Chains A and B, each alone.
Chain A
Amino acid sequence: MHELPQQLANGLALGALYGLIAIGYTMVYGIVQLINFAHGEIFMIGGFGALSAYAILPTGTSLLIAIPVMIIGGAATSVAVACAAERFAYRPLRSAPRLAPLITAIGLSIALQQLVWQFYPDAKKAVSFPEFKGAAFKLTDSLSIQRADLFVLILAPLCMLALGVFVQKSRSGRAMQATAQDPDTAKLMGINTDRIIVMAFAIGAAFAAVAAVAYGLDKGQINFEMGFILGLKAFTAAVLGGIGNIYGAMVGGVVLGLAEALSIAYIEDIPGMSQLGGGAWSNVWAFVLLIVVLLVRPQGLLGERVADRA
Chain B
Amino acid sequence: MRHRSLLVLTTVITTGALTLTACGSRDGGDSKDNGGGKKTTVVIGVDAPLTGSLSALGQGIKNSVDLAAKTANKNNEVPGIEFKVEALDDQAVPASGQANATKLVGNKDVLGVVGPLNSGVAQQMQGVFNSANLAQVSPANTNPALSQGDNWGKGEFKRGFKTYFRTAATDVVQGKFAAQYLFRDAGKKKVFIVDDKQTYGAGLAAIFADEFKKLGGEVVGTDHVTVKETDFSSTADKVKSSGADSVYFGGQYPEGGLLADQIKKTGAVVPLMGGDGIQDPAFISASGEANEGDLATSIGYPVEKLDTAKKFIEDYKTEGYKDPYAAYGGYSYDAGWAVIQAVKAVAAANNGKLPTDARAKVVEALGKVSFEGVTGKVAFDEYGDTTNKQLTVYKVEGGKWVDVKSDTFNQ
Contact = CB atoms under 8 A, between A and B. Distances in A.
A14 B224 CA distance: 19
A124 B14 CA distance: 26
A215 B229 CA distance: 13
A100 B80 CA distance: 54
A102 B234 contact: no
B285 interface: yes
Interface in B2-51: 2-4, 6-8, 10-11, 14-15, 17-18, 21-22, 24, 51
Which of B7, B14, B17 has the most chain A CB within a 10 Å cutoff? Answer: B7
B288 A14 contact: no
Contacts of A13: 233
Contacts of A229: 228-230
B51 to A, nearest CB: 7
B116 interface: no
Given A33-B3, A124-B56, A223-B53, A3 B241 contact: yes
A179 interface: no
Interface residues of A, number: 56
Contacts of B213: none
Interface in A244-302: 260-261, 264-265, 278-280, 282-283, 294, 298-299
B313 interface: no
B294 interface: no
B235 A228 contact: no
B265 A299 contact: no
8 contacts: A2-B237, A3-B241, A11-B234, A35-B10, A124-B55, A215-B230, A229-B228, A283-B226
B286 interface: yes
A279 B14 contact: no
Nearest to B239: A2
Interface in B213-237: 222-226, 228-235, 237
A135 B258 contact: no
Interface string B251-292: 000100110010001110000000000000010011110000
Contacts of A283: 226, 229
Contacts of A243: 7
Contact of A225 (B6, B15, B52): B52
A14 B55 contact: no
A150 B150 CA distance: 48
A260 B237 CA distance: 14
Interface of A: 2-3, 6-7, 10-11, 13-14, 33, 35, 37, 98, 102, 106, 109-110, 114, 117, 124-128, 131, 135-136, 144, 146, 215, 219-221, 223, 225-226, 228-230, 232, 235, 239, 243, 260-261, 264-265, 278-280, 282-283, 294, 298-299, 309-310
A261 B18 contact: no
B254 A126 contact: yes
Contacts of B3: 33, 309-310
B237 A265 contact: yes
B288 A279 contact: no
B288 A128 contact: yes
Given A124-B56, A228-B228, A232-B15, A117 B285 contact: no
B210 interface: no
Nearest to B59: A124
A282 B18 CA distance: 19
A278 B285 contact: no
B10 A264 contact: no
Contacts of A228: 18, 22, 228
A187 B238 CA distance: 55
A218 B1 CA distance: 41
A102 B10 contact: yes
A135 B202 CA distance: 32
A217 to B, nearest CB: 11
A310 B288 contact: no
Contacts of A3: 237, 241
B60 to A, nearest CB: 11
A220 B53 CA distance: 16
B353 interface: no
B290 to A, nearest CB: 9
A2 to B, nearest CB: 5
A146 B236 CA distance: 13
B285 A298 contact: no
Given A229-B229, A279-B229, A98 B234 contact: no
Given A106-B17, A125-B282, 15 more contacts: A2-B237, A2-B241, A11-B234, A106-B21, A117-B51, A125-B56, A219-B230, A219-B261, A220-B288, A223-B254, A229-B230, A243-B7, A279-B223, A279-B226, A280-B225
Contacts of A98: 6, 10
B52 to A, nearest CB: 7
B323 interface: yes
Interface string B171-185: 000000000000000
Interface in B287-323: 287-288, 323
B285 A265 contact: no
Contact of B53 (A109, A126, A136, A309): A126
Contacts of A14: 231, 233
Contacts of A215: 230
B254 A110 contact: no
Nearest to A107: B21
A282 B233 CA distance: 12
A144 B348 CA distance: 70
Contacts of B258: 219, 221
B55 A280 contact: no
B181 to A, nearest CB: 26
Nearest to B288: A220
Contacts of B55: 117, 124-125
B158 interface: no
A126 B237 contact: no
Contact of B18 (A128, A225, A226, A232): A232
Nearest to B261: A220
